[in-house]
Amino acid sequence: MANWKLFGFQITNEKTKKQEGQQDAKNITEKSFALPQNDDGAVTLQTGAYFGTYVDLEGVVRNEIELITRYREMAMQPELETAIDDIVNEAIVMQGHTQPLTINLDDLKQPDLIKKKIREEFYIVLKMLNFGNMGSELFRRWYIDGRMFYHVIIDESRPRDGIKELRYIDPRRIRKVREIQKTKDPATAADIIRTVREYYLYNERGIIGAHSNLGMRIAPDSVINVNSGLMDSRRAMVLSYLHKAIKPLNQLRMVEDATVIYRLSRAPERRVFYIDVGNLPKVKAEQYLRDLMVKYRNKLVYDSNTGEIRDDRKHLSMLEDFWLPRREGGKGTEIQTLPGGQNLGEMEDVKYFERKLYKSLSIPISRLEMQQGFSIGRTSEITRDELKFSKFVFRLRNKFSTLFDEALRVQLSLKGICTVEEWDNFKENIYYDFITDNNFDELKKAELIQNRISVLSLADPYIGKYFSIEWARKNILNQTDDEVTEIKKQIEDEQEEMIEMAQKQAEIAQASIPQAPQVQQQDDQNNSTAPIASQQDDQASQANANTTPQNGTSSDNSALDSAVNQQLKIEQKSNLNNILRIIKDRRNVL
């Protein structure tokens, strides 16, 4: 096998090192005769082999190019277009100026700085895809074709700048190839895999087959490949979600055409002419019958352009009358009317295949009824088909999210935020939250929580007597061990915050109590010097003889203020003790 240089860039990791020659040493201990699993539709080639793809779908499609072309032609049919719109509108919800999806890093056990950088790079990728404006079109394109390819363009002189552009590639012009080299095991003489090399073939005129001379070879890291995950029976070709609708669509078209032809042929009423030919010989009887047919079938037409009257005998065969000879001895000449079809208004067969078409696309049959209203009610009013459809859309979103995983893998590794191996571990804990327009899950969750709380309120008097709190958490509320631990920690944190807030409120309330003027005056007098104090005593004794009733009133006010302050302190202390007692009781219950 020639060691061709691949177009584009490659991110050096353990996988590429093995492909460059270090795989031989490893295969000495890790031996396998089985080929790698083919989930991406790659053509598997062995040394010196040529592999061509042929799929016979009702004798029409012979390769992947024709298959994708057929999918696109099917998507232009009115029934399929309506069904695809339902799926795309359900999967990608465009609301105002917000992005249709966000990245969820709650389960990622990494520092906040790493999470922040991942989130920033994610929104950069969305901007390069123009997902805010073209998200529905990208999902529609992926759903119809069953695959999507993007060329990752970077500045090779400055790879640390990351991805510069993501350019769409028509899937009919590119194909993934996997070359496998085998060797003989000296101990068992079995053919074991020595190296596995992957690349993409690109040809502007299209790829048919997978020979290395068919097009340009591109490094795998330079191309983002997102497929539907559906494979044919030989697991050699990726199929679209429209593949199951090929036969129902053809049957629907044939039934519709047959219905139209039958109605056109059976709708008009025909006349049956029974002509009395007497005892004429057969030849003369036939000539007499033809003369009558010409005589009564002449159609005189006035031509307004020339002012002439001409004979127009252009009649459709399905609208012709019937002329039948009748011998002497029977009835004479007679004209009867042959009625048209009586069941022309029935469309049950067409509706059957229309329902079959929607069923093949996993769309609820109720959506065929355009006049049926939509209402958000209880979960008991939700049909099972709608619930299954919501789960189907969730699977579509999950598979389509591979586009963001692959783009972030390249972007983060180029910028040095994480390695490829680290990203393989990160992506298992990274999720993408799509904006949903279907509230079935929320309604179902809300009713489940409501029912559990109702059962818990009924079992509350028996907790601690017949049931334990741990049993109630796991069997009534269906909480896992991790959830129980997390909720307990949250409750303890909230209780500590409540204690701190109560203490702060008590301090603020105590500081806001005004001090009596007499008490301040007494404190000032105690801090003053003795001569001034004696002088004030003399003045006070002199004034005391003249203003005895006023001094009596002042002493009463001082006693009243002291009593009020003492009562406020007692109430504040009592409130704080009550809060602390409630928190202590809740801790004991937990």
d(CA 417, CA 125): 15
Q: Is the pLDDT of residue 220 over 50?
A: yes
Closest CA to 39 of 192, 243, 226, 210: 226
DSSP letter, residue 245: G
Query: Does 522 score more than 90 pLDDT?
Result: no
Q: What is the pLDDT of residue 541?
A: 47
Residue 395 has pLDDT above 80, yes or no: yes
At 205 the pLDDT is: 83
**Between the ranges 229-243, 411-425, 518-532, where is the mean pLDDT highest?**
411-425
CA dihedral over 341, 343, 349, 351, signed as positive or negative: positive
Angle between helices 78-91 and 384-400 (to 10 degrees): 70
**Mean pLDDT on 166-172:** 93
Burial (CB count within 10 angstroms: exposed 0-12, middle 13-18, buried 19+), residue 72: middle
Q: What is the pLDDT of residues 468-504, one digit of tens each?
A: 888 888 888 888 888 888 888 888 888 888 888 888 8
* Alpha carbon 143 to chain centroid, angstroms: 11
**What pLDDT does residue 502 have?**
81
CA dist list (Å): 378 to 61, 238, 441, 449: 47, 40, 11, 14
| pLDDT-wise least confident of 145-159, 443-457, 574-588 | 574-588
pTM of the model: 0.68
98, containing H or E segment: none
Structure tokens at 95: 């609301």
Could you give the CA distance from residue 289 to residue 100 in angstroms, rounded to a whole number?
76
Q: What is the pLDDT of residue 245?
A: 92
Looking at residues 384-404, what average pLDDT do you find?
89
pLDDT band at 316 (very low <50, low <70, confident <90, very high): very low
**Confidence bin at 224 (pLDDT 50/70/90):** very high
User: Picking from 138-147, 301-310, 312-321, which range would have the lowest pLDDT averaged per residue?
Assistant: 312-321
Confidence label for 192 from pLDDT (cuts 50, 70 and 90): confident
Tell me: the pLDDT tens digits for 84-119?
A: 999 999 899 887 777 888 999 988 888 989 999 999
Average confidence (pLDDT) over 508-535 = 53
Instruction: Report pLDDT digits (tens) over 256-296.
Output: 888 888 777 777 777 777 777 777 888 888 888 887 777 66
Q: How much is the pLDDT for 400? A: 94
- Contact at 8 Å (CB) between 216 and 203? yes
Average pLDDT over residues 186-215: 77
Instruction: Give the rounded distance of the alpha carbon of 72 from its chain centre.
Output: 21
Surface-to-core class of residue 204, CB atoms within 10 Å of its CB (0-12 exposed, 13-18 middle, 19+ buried): exposed
31-40, 171-180, 433-442, range with the lowest pLDDT: 31-40
CA angle at 418 for the pair 413 and 419, rounded to the nearest 5°: 65
Average model confidence (pLDDT) across the chain = 76
Q: Tell how far CA 572 is from the center of its chain.
A: 56
Task: Supply the pLDDT for residue 103.
Answer: 92
- Is the pLDDT at 12 greater than 80? The verdict is no
Q: Which amino acid is at 196?
A: V
Q: Who's near 370: CB < 8 A, 6+ residues apart?
A: none
Specify the higher pLDDT residue, 328 or 106. Answer: 106
Position 548 scores a pLDDT of: 43
**What integer is the mean pLDDT of 188-217?**
77
What is residue 585's predicted lDDT score, i.e. its pLDDT? 62
Q: Which residue has the higher pLDDT, 510 or 236?
A: 236
Tokens for 514? 């005004």
Mean pLDDT to the nearest integer, 555-582:
62
Rg of the chain's alpha carbons, rounded to an integer? 44
Q: How many residues are present in the chain? A: 590
pLDDT at residue 552, as a whole number: 46
- DSSP string covering 249-274, please? HHHHHHHHHHHHHHHHHHSS-EEEEE
Pairing of strands 308-311, 230-231: unpaired
The β-bridge partners of 168 are: 150
Task: Name residue 397's amino acid.
Answer: R
Tell me the per-residue pLDDT of 57-92, one tens digit each, with 9 for 90 and over.
Answer: 344 456 888 899 999 999 999 989 999 999 999 899
